[in-house]
Amino acid sequence: MSPTTPLPLDGIRVVEFTHMVMGPTCGLILGDLGADVVKVEPLSGDNTRRLLGSGAGFYGLFNRNKQSLAVDVKDPRGQEIVLKLAAQADVFSENFKSGTMDKLGFGYEALTQLNPRLVYVSHKGFLPGPYDHRTALDEVVQMMGGLAYMTGPEGRPLRAGSSVNDIMGGMFGAIGTLAALQQRQRTGRGQQVQSALFENNIFLVAQHMMQFAVTGQAAAPMPSRISAWGVYDVFTVKDGEQIFLAAVSDTQWGLMCDEFGFADLRADARLGSNNDRVRAREWLLPLLKDRFSLHSAGELAARFERVGLPYAPITKPHDLFDDPHLQATGGLAPMTIPADGSGAGHAVHTHTALLPLALDGDRLPVRRNPPALGEHTDTLLRGLGYLDGEISALRAARVVA
């Protein structure tokens, strides 16, 4: 994709009235695809600009390719600015508590009357129903939706190690947006799109629901499950290193036995098929762990790779900055997080993971760094017809920043 080739959503304007992860993920995807995303922030800024600990990376990751407009939407003059933006927009995205947008005058009914072509995207904890009054978080729906049960060992429900529902909920919001924009091509009208954390989580565990429907047996948590594959586990090897090794087909089993001289196992009639090896896991895995423990993780990786067997090092997230595949394929792009969005008190120059897709062989670029608070306020207001003197007056009255 050459620099002169328009991105797929070039010319689409998104007004993003979101915070935290779910809504910003939707805007991130639309922005990466070429949309002009206007992030509407309070004068104090999105709270993720100041988060510490596990939230310190939220703002920098989920807010690239966006412009920042800082405005007090409780002031009628600020509300007027947002309404002018919405009147010209293609998409309005929000993820606040139900009723918040209606109180501000930015609800679906109000904005669709103002702009019938508007696609209105709502990211919530639950789709409309008995639970929709509840306050939801990623961890809440992981617990009530079966994912934490499946992730942790027996009796120890454990949330997944990433904001999986927030991120995927934003993805489904973006998918719904793309579908609504396509339908607008035929009907000339926008529509409301709804995405929700709980329903997203149910989709994630639906395979285990279907497992029960098919077998009549409740799915066991992942640490104690009956694996579908005979060899599919983490092995502790020489010097205490760990590596994931797998042989998931009869062909792979044969390759592994030949590579490591396991002629006795290859000839054992009890291990003739994958299902046989699944039934034998109780004694087979300890035996394999003893044999593999004589080798280093590096040696095992090299030998598994040479014969085309699945394997994986046990990698920590920060190690991925140096991953040779990501570096060679352009999967990481340079980016600067502004001082007011890093939580560190200064700008951070780093690399960020791009969307995991390529269009015509090219990755979607970082066109804009995550914005400083109100970085584009003046430019956006001028685009709405405000004169410089009017902008100065709005700023002096603390309506915008």
What does the pLDDT look like over 94-109, one tens digit per residue? 999 989 999 999 999 9
User: How much is the average pLDDT of 252-260?
Assistant: 97
CB atoms within 10 A of CB 375: 20
For residues 311 and 243, is the Cβ–Cβ distance under 8 A? yes
Stronger pLDDT, 179 or 344, i.e. the higher one: 179
What is the DSSP track for 15-68?
EEE--TTHHHHHHHHHHHTT-EEEEEE-TT--GGGS--GGGTTHHHHHTSSEEE
For residues 401 and 377, is the Cβ–Cβ distance under 8 A? yes
CB atoms within 10 A of CB 18: 26
Burial 113-123 (b: 16+ CB within 10 A, else e): ebbeebbbbbb
> Per residue in 172-208, pLDDT tens?
999 999 999 999 999 999 999 999 999 999 999 999 9
d(CA 19, CA 40): 9
pLDDT band at 31 (very low <50, low <70, confident <90, very high): very high
d(CA 345, CA 186): 49
pLDDT of 121 above 90: yes
d(CA 232, CA 248): 7
pLDDT of 26 above 60: yes
Mean pLDDT of all residues belonging to the chain: 96
Element (H, E) at 337: strand 332-337
Burial class of residue 82, CB neighbours in 10 A (0-12, 13-18, 19+): buried
pLDDT band at 151 (very low <50, low <70, confident <90, very high): very high
Q: What domains can be seen in the chain, in order of their start residue?
A: 13-205+323-396 (3.40.50.10540), 227-313 (3.30.1540.10)
What is the DSSP track for 288-307?
HHHHHTTS-HHHHHHHHHHT
d(CA 71, CA 18): 13
- What is the chain's length? 401
Contacts of 232 (CB under 8 A, 6+ apart): 246, 247, 248
pLDDT of 330 above 70: yes
Burial 27-64 (b: 16+ CB within 10 A, else e): bbbbbbbbbbbbbbbbbebbebbeeeeeeebbbbbbbb
pLDDT of 368 above 60: yes
Give me the sign of the Cα torsion angle 203, 208, 212, 214.
positive
pTM: 0.93
Element (H, E) at 147: helix 147-151
pLDDT of 353 above 90: yes
Q: Which residues does residue 335 pair with via DSSP β-bridges, in sequence order? A: 350
Two tokens, residue 390: 């009017």
pLDDT band at 2 (very low <50, low <70, confident <90, very high): low
For residues 364 and 65, is the Cβ–Cβ distance under 8 A? no
pLDDT of 1 above 60: no
